[in-house]
Amino acid sequence: MTGASRARMVVAIVLGLLGLVVVLQNFQQVETNVLFWRLSMPHIAFLGMVFGAGCILGVVLTIMFYNCRLKDKNTV
């Protein structure tokens, strides 16, 4: 494992732990309006869903960007 990939892994772990700490500190009920629905849920569930969606979106965008770069390299 190179130094850059090890540094990225450490940064990802630290950010993941910080996100987990923030989520675990919020247990109160909140009301959220999503389009035409009003949802009442614990803040921890809402933050967890937003954090999870952000992680999934980050992975999907990274894969898409990597595939585009690979395709551009092969065509040149």
Q: What is the pLDDT of residues 31-58, one digit of tens each?
A: 888 888 898 988 888 888 888 999 999 9
The CA distance from 47 to 4, in Å, is: 30
Question: Do residues 28 and 46 touch, judged by C-beta distance below 8 A?
Answer: no
Confidence of residue 24 (pLDDT cuts 50, 70, 90): confident
The CA distance from 2 to 26, in Å, is: 37
What was the pLDDT predicted at 76?
A: 59
